[in-house]
Structure 1
Amino acid sequence: MVVRAWLRRAGGVIVAMMLAIGTAVADDGYRQADGLAVYLGLVPAAVVRGHPTAHSESTMHGGAGTGRHQQHIVVAVFDAQTAARIENARVSATIGGLGHVGQQTVELDPMRIENTVTYGGFITLPGNDRYEIAVTVIVPARSRPVSVTFSSAHVQ
């Protein structure tokens, strides 16, 4: 129980800071499934574009696009029982808007920042809508992928 409380508190603080500067607001940013704790955050791509060109984050994931509705999606994955960060997973996100036809899937790249690994990539949320974000986590030692779904409202 103490581990879960710590995970929620630590992840909640990170996600809250990320969401405070964004235009996309994910629900509570936390899901737990099959022994994994998954945290989701969305940050406008403009924040990443604001880094100097010499900064490592300015070129991550191939660089932030210039689209008006681009977001940087960040996912952190932990073992729910031990609170150990999962650093060797393959993570992807599939995003679909309730009022938009189609969906997009993006493989999230591992990002090492401050000696921790999170997973990230750029997505486009094309307009005001409520989006479903399905995150799939594949951990090498597990027999099957773990999927969790978040909801996010995007307002321009």
Structure 2
Amino acid sequence: MIQPAQIPAMLALCGALLSACEGNARMPRGEQTVGGITIYLGVVPAEIVQGHPVAPGDPQALHGGTPAGRNSHHVVVALFDAKTGARITDARVAAGFGGRVRGHQPLRDLEPMEINGKMSYGGFFLLRETGGLQVHLEIRRDPKARPVTAAFAYDHLP
């Protein structure tokens, strides 16, 4: 049974959970422009990556192969100059996921990759948590300058 003294703490917890969900609902999902860079983000289950070998241990495997586990996903990021529309191919891109249960993963470098002859950045991630997640990106074109950061909402379904 709930004690009257517990009610304020429970209301605060409910408010925090609702605001986290609401915040995710307002976040961009697949495209945004930050710091003069238009960013496109895609996240797909690793098993549907086509046209590239992905088996762990295969020397030709994309990004060294998929991590073990059924929750492996491929993240791909394409970058464009917001003014000219020119594709950006000289950046360093790092990504990480954040969730309500496990917190924010450390950022990991994405690897340059070609998709249909066009330069993008990608990598595999294990997503153990389901529900509303955030994808955090850090983009560097000049190692001496501050990175451009962006966050996207991603709904990871079981």
> With structure 1 as the length reference, what TM-score do the two structures score?
0.72
Which of 80, 105, 108 in structure 2 is aligned with 1:106? 108
Q: 2-side partners of 1:143 and 1:52: how far apart? A: 36
Conserved? CA contact 2:54–2:62, under 8 Å: no
> What are the superposed Cα offsets for residues 100-119 of structure 1, whole Å, 9 maximum, x if unpaired?
24524221000022221000
Structure 2 partner of 1:152? 154
Q: Structure 2: any 5+ residue segments left out of the alignment?
A: 1-26
Conserved? CA contact 1:127–1:155, under 8 Å: no
Q: How much does 1:76 deviate? A: 0.4
Q: 2-side partners of 1:101 and 1:53: how far apart? A: 28
Question: Alpha carbons of 1:49 and 1:118: their partners in 2 closer, same or farther (altered >3 Å)?
Answer: closer
Structure 1 partner of 2:127? 125
Coordinate RMSD, CA, aligned: 2.8
Q: How much does 1:50 deviate? A: 8.5
Q: Structure 1: any 5+ residue segments left out of the alignment?
A: 1-25
Percent identity over the alignment is 39
**Matched residue type, 1:73:** V
Aligned runs of 1:130-141 on 2, under 5 Å? 130-140=132-142
Count of residue correspondences: 130
Q: How much does 1:38 deviate? A: 0.4
SS at match of 2:107: strand
**Matched residue type, 2:40:** Y
Larger Rg: 2
Conserved? CA contact 1:76–1:117, under 8 Å: yes
Q: How much does 1:146 deviate? A: 0.5
